[in-house]
Structure 1
Amino acid sequence: MLAQLQEKIFNDQAIPVLAKQLNEYQNSKQTSVKADQQRLSKSLEGVDRQIENIVNAVASGLNNPTILEKLGALEEQKVELETKLLKAQQVKEKAAITEELCDNCFLVFRTTSPAGTFLRSRSSSATM
């Protein structure tokens, strides 16, 4: 099984394909984060508008317990949305995954892991 891993994954021909697929996956996640940020911003704008409308209604003399409950719920929703938006904005864009980075990772794996030792010993015995 380890020999199959070396043959299929830990080889020079697989590195460009792996780097490309990892970057595509990473980019799809980044696109998802940006979409979440936009969705949260729009929701926050809507909540702010509703709060402003209720405050204006209360200021003009409409003082109904139901309206005040709604205002409280909107304020809670606003805090929740702001927190989620802050978390989403803190997600940093990831650096591209290069072929060199993948190659270095495989090199570390081959030189430090027990499986890597097995792979080296199998490949050196195959060349004898």
Structure 2
Amino acid sequence: MSGADPVLETNLLDVAPVRLADWEEVDGRAVLLRPRPAARGLKQLLEILSYQLSARRIRLDEAGSFAWLRLDGRRTVAEIAAEMRGEMGSAVEPAEERLGTLVRQLRGQGLVAYPGVDAAAGLPPGTRRGG
């Protein structure tokens, strides 16, 4: 490997993301609970400031909730997209693109990890899961 970011060399459709965040179900939708930052020093100060200024609870829409429940580290993004399409039809098209955007956003916030790619994925699937 060339030292490039392994995520950039990974086909997202082949990844089986795993949930890292606690969550609860409210009115049939997943509500994600953002964890408090654990960094130390100046980085901690910046992360805590960002944490304080942003939403601590993230309410997903119907498609996002459907996907969240399936981010178990066993199903790939492609498999979940196919399930979304089968369940919700054209309302989720383009399913792969929509799901890919969601998964990348969740990973960027530390709410999911890519097993085999992210160091944080050492947690067994669902160990910090709520709901």
TM-score (norm 1): 0.24
TM-score (norm 2): 0.23
Which of the pair has more CA radius of gyration?
A: 1
Looking at secondary structure, tell me which structure has more strand per residue: 2
Looking at secondary structure, tell me which structure has more helix per residue: 1
